[in-house]
Structure 1
Amino acid sequence: MTRIDARFASLRQDGRKAFVAYIMAGDPDVETSFELMRGLPGAGVDVIELGLPFTDPMADGPTIQTAGQRALAGGMTLDRTLDMVRRFRAEDNETPIVLMGYYNPIYSRGVDRFLAQATEAGIDGLIVVDLPPEEDDELCLPAQKAGMNFIRLATPTTDDRRLPRVLQNTSGFVYYVSITGITGAAAAEAGDVGPEVSRIKAQTDLPVIVGFGIRTPESAAAIAGVADGCVVGSAIVAALAEGRPVPEVLDFVASLAGGAHSA
């Protein structure tokens, strides 16, 4: 059982919804990013989704693209991202960490070497948005063999013929993308999301967590109310980009977590 599996089992036992927070590793700099990361569990975050900066983040909107550019300009690398996770693990050995990014940096490192380094650092799961299920032999199956969850995205365009293939080797949780398009592009609507979550849950026992388009405690509560929890990313990244101090950003995160946990 991974930390992700254990966390969702605990949430289920307590009858609580999950709140997942996304931040970009190294944005706006390594120390600020680490200070934010280490404060997330205390702000009510159940799972940390840590973005790996990449030069061509095709699934991300301007807010997260710019965050990645700031991180890369500041010298953030895959090695420094893993070092950040090791520092976090020295203080917190319970909070699950999902590394989210693209396949190119992993491929360049070599899958076996990357998985050995990532598991040693304390990564619990992967979201790699540009590897479809047809490429499971590339990373998904080796990751699961190494003891990691591989979390797949389902979208509004994932129809009933495609869905079983998407779910086939998914573990940890299913990430449902509430809108078509890039991150931060539109607001999620619970009335649209609810039936889609039910459709997915009819085919899997995994938790279904909804992301994209959630910016307020009210929307976090509404979306978590029709799913097993929600993810907020762009709104948190934007708050940091506005120059707010980390304690103020963590207060905002706590308000979002409170919304999700109230569902």
Structure 2
Amino acid sequence: MRCMGLDNVDLKAVADLGITLLQVPGHSPYSVAEQAVTLLLGLVRHLPEANHRVRTGNFAIDGLMGNDLHGKTVGVIGAGRIGKVFARIMLGFGCKVLAYDLRPDPRLIEAGVQYCLLSDILTQSDIISLHCPLTPLTDTIIDVYSLSALKPNAILINTARGRLVDTKAVLNALDADQLGGYAADVYEQEWPYFHYNYSTKPIADDLLNRLRSHPKVLLTAHQGFLTEEALRQMARNLLNQFTFYANQQMMMVTKASMC
């Protein structure tokens, strides 16, 4: 598996069939963290619309008023390798950073990040970025109830897993002005569409169509990992995994032949 998450793998079937599962134990956290920052900036400064206007010869700036990130409160849900990088970048913007994670990192606290309850993240943050894995506990961690606790102009960023959010609830919150904007690199039913060209084909997913056409949404097709540095590291990690597995197999064969 050329990825970190295994939520898309039937682990029971793998075990029942006797398949050896190798995965990338981790790759550059900067690629995804920087994608989250890019989506955030693109959303709050209306960059896609501004660029489209300039391309069509429209240099008017009406309706393009954005917001400073400096001074905003940023909540990070899941302060693992990627979340920590994102948190440090936000500190560099001059933001107050809150984090929710099961294992607080003293170095992040020393850098200025405040760990707190999830409820505090939801009620206090101007911007919330999701960087937690998809587990039974985090499945739709952003739902109707958590959205109702947010500030009405809050921005939600998701570069982790699509099913961390209830997409329909997010869209309804945007329509009701209960959420300021949503930027994502993932979608809960992305597999039939993401990484394929559907520019000349109909897209039958009504929720995806609603999401990609919403004026308060900035969506990319799961490209956060796609940097030269991340792919290079991914390849090295895979080769290391293959080498380690091959050496283990050879040692087992050698040991068996000596018995």
**Scaled by the length of structure 2, what TM-score is found?**
0.36
Task: Select the structure of larger CA radius of gyration.
Answer: 2
**Scaled by the length of structure 1, what TM-score is found?**
0.36
